[in-house]
Structure 1
């Protein structure tokens, strides 16, 4: 059965690039436009991985991570931040909230696929 990844980014074109990279290697992808939209999609479906941007309208990525980690079904779902943010303070905040990996944009799709393969195996 294909593994499912939730992608959260306010840029439609960016979500498309990520979706295509992941679908090409066999992942199923669900998209959300921001943290609030993503929380609605945490409806009991099994996600093997969540890929999230930091800077988004309505609810930013770090707030989303903190809320998602309080939900029993998603407490242990690995989360990768895929963002333009590279400050150590943001990374530390992400790590404290439960983020497993941090990829800085611009990125190579192969980096994301490699991270997804590693984290979805866990």
Structure 2
């Protein structure tokens, strides 16, 4: 069962996404800020990270750069989750090291397609 780390500070979004992904057969761990997400990624070495970009303590951009700079976890795919849907936001996420980008509100089928594709690599 693939392990997914969800880094999300909104309790309702975290709960909804966690439950929906667990029903699809994924194991979930979570963190509520970027620094905790980085720490959790190092300790659990998930198969994939879903990273909100607007986070307290350390934002998702910085947390993603830190993940990709750490040789122990740099291989883990990171999907940016954000309410910002501008093309420049997608570019910024990819420049930070995200492997893909998905805008909120989350529609599960689209996100599952991205997760499946990244886990197959």
Q: Tell me if both proteins adopt one fold, taking TM over 0.5 as the criterion.
A: yes
Which 10-residue stretch deviates more, 60-69 or 39-48?
A: 39-48
Q: CA RMSD in A?
A: 1.2
Which stretches in structure 1 are left out of the alignment for 5+ residues?
none
Which whole-Å CA distance do the structure 1 matches of 2:107 and 2:90 have between them?
19
Q: SS state of the match for residue 73, structure 1? A: coil
TM-score (norm 1): 0.92
Match of 2:11 in 1: 12
Which 10-residue stretch deviates more, 63-72 or 34-43?
A: 34-43
CA-CA distance at 1:87 after TM superposition: 2.0
Match of 1:97 in 2: 96
Which stretches in structure 2 are left out of the alignment for 5+ residues?
none
Match of 2:85 in 1: 86
Moved over 4 A (4+): none
Deviations 1:30-76 (A, max 9, x none): 01001011122123423111001111111111110001111112111
Q: How many residues align?
A: 121
1:29 matched to 2:28? The reply is: yes
